[in-house]
Amino acid sequence: MLNEVIFEHPSSLNKIESYVFFGCSFLAKITIPSSVTSIGRWAFSGCTLLSEITFEEPASLVSIGEDAFYSCTSLTKMVIPSSVVTIDNFAFSHCSSLKEVT
């Protein structure tokens, strides 16, 4: 059962590809490496237990793709790095527990 993702060589990761964790219903926690500049569309969609997303500092994330976190119903808080320029349509759609976005 996958409940946490830790990237072994985070400095070589610059994009979280589209659909990579799509429907991963057991994923609860993820830390996005500071080298990541984009999160693809539907990347974490349907991760219903995902409740903690951490961005390593200094974050270089520039874009969050369409429906990237669609239906992440356990996500209650999201701290978006100040480096983000683009958040595509419906990135946090159906995140019914999301109460705070910074």
- Average pLDDT value for the chain: 93
Q: Given a cut of 90, is residue 67 above it in pLDDT?
A: yes
Model pLDDT for residues 16-55, shown as the tens digit of each residue:
999 999 999 899 999 999 999 999 999 999 999 999 999 9
- pLDDT at 1 (0 to 100): 65
Model pLDDT for residues 71-95, shown as the tens digit of each residue:
999 999 999 999 999 999 999 999 9
- pLDDT at 92 (0 to 100): 96
Q: Given a cut of 90, is residue 3 above it in pLDDT?
A: no
pTM of the shown model? 0.92
Edge to edge, the sheet with strand 29-32 lists: 4-5, 29-32, 52-55
CB-CB neighbours of 16 under 10 Å: 23
CB 43 within 8 A of CB 66: no
Instruction: Give the total residue count for the chain.
Output: 102
Using CA atoms, how far apart are residues 71 and 98, in angstroms rounded to an integer?
10
Q: Given a cut of 90, is residue 97 above it in pLDDT?
A: yes
